[in-house]
Amino acid sequence: MEELFLDEIRDLYDAEKQLLEALPELARSVSSEELRNVLEEHGEQTETQVKRLERIFAVLGEKATGRKCFAMAGLIREANEIAGASGDTAVRDAGLIAAAQKVEHYEISGYGSARAHAEILGDDRAARLLSETLFEEKEADERLTELADSLVNEEAAWSSNHAFNGSNHALNSSANGRPKTRSAGGSDLREH
Ligand code: FE
Ligand code: ZN
Ligand code: FE
Ligand code: FE
């Protein structure tokens, strides 16, 4: 169990460092100012989260080293693909919110498990540090949900007749060129 826990901390450490590197560029690629604020603020929180993990390494008497988190690498790659896609900016923002939420959900599950394992090991200090980060990840996820529900998806639904050309994400709307009337639920995005 000690080894599993250390492995989890190393995975999270690498995941957070990958995010630290990726977030500034992702934030620059969004068009909604609110979404950019959320991403930038979460970038600052991520620096704190990295430091918390370093404190856990210190508590464990281990060197702070990461172990490549392939999941985060994949999630960031998908986010970058959406960021680099051409087409309607509001639709791209909606895609970026979805990508960012996948990142938060991954972190929430990682921190949730690591905290449970810290508790099993009786490491209260590590459990408390992991709880603090877990709370921030959930908060970030909620802010993204609120954004998705309001501004961005609304705009995207308005302009759902515009094409969106992701490199391998099939987000193109029906290409009949006729403007669609906006449906109440804003569900035009998924309608084909
Ligand atoms: Fe994080
Ligand atoms: Zn985070
Ligand atoms: Fe991982
Ligand atoms: Fe996060």
Q: How far is the CA of 25 from the centre of ligand 2 (A)?
A: 16
pLDDT in tens, the chain (192 residues): 999 999 999 999 999 999 999 999 999 999 999 999 999 999 999 999 999 999 999 999 999 999 999 999 999 999 999 999 988 888 899 999 999 999 999 999 999 999 999 999 999 999 999 999 999 999 999 999 999 988 655 666 666 655 566 554 444 443 333 333 333 333 333 333
CB within 8 A of 112, min separation 6: which ones?
A: 134
Give the Cα separation of 52 and 64 in Å (integer).
Answer: 11
Q: How far is the CA of 6 from the centre of ligand 1 (A)?
A: 17
DSSP state string for 100-160 = HHHHHHHHHHHHHHHHHHHHHTT-HHHHHHHHHHHHHHHHHHHHHHHHIIIIIHHHHHHTT
Tell me the ligand closest to 101's alpha carbon: 4
Tokens (6 digits) for 57: 């390494």
Q: How far is the CA of 30 from the centre of ligand 3 (A)?
A: 26
Q: Which CATH number fits domain 2-191: 3.40.50.1820, 3.40.190.100, 1.20.1260.10, 1.10.630.10?
A: 1.20.1260.10
Domains in the chain: boundaries: 2-191
Q: Is 191:163 a contact under the CB 8 Å cutoff?
A: no
Q: How far is the CA of 17 from the centre of ligand 2 (A)?
A: 10
Q: How far is the CA of 49 from the centre of ligand 1 (A)?
A: 6
Q: How far is the CA of 151 from the centre of ligand 1 (A)?
A: 24
Tell me the ligand closest to 141's alpha carbon: 4
Tell me the ligand closest to 43's alpha carbon: 2
Chain position carrying tokens 């999941």:
71
Q: How far is the CA of 97 from the centre of ligand 4 (A)?
A: 12
> What's the predicted TM-score (pTM) here?
0.81
Q: How far is the CA of 136 from the centre of ligand 1 (A)?
A: 8
Measure Cα distances from 180 to 34, 100, 150, 170, 186 in Å: 27, 28, 20, 19, 11
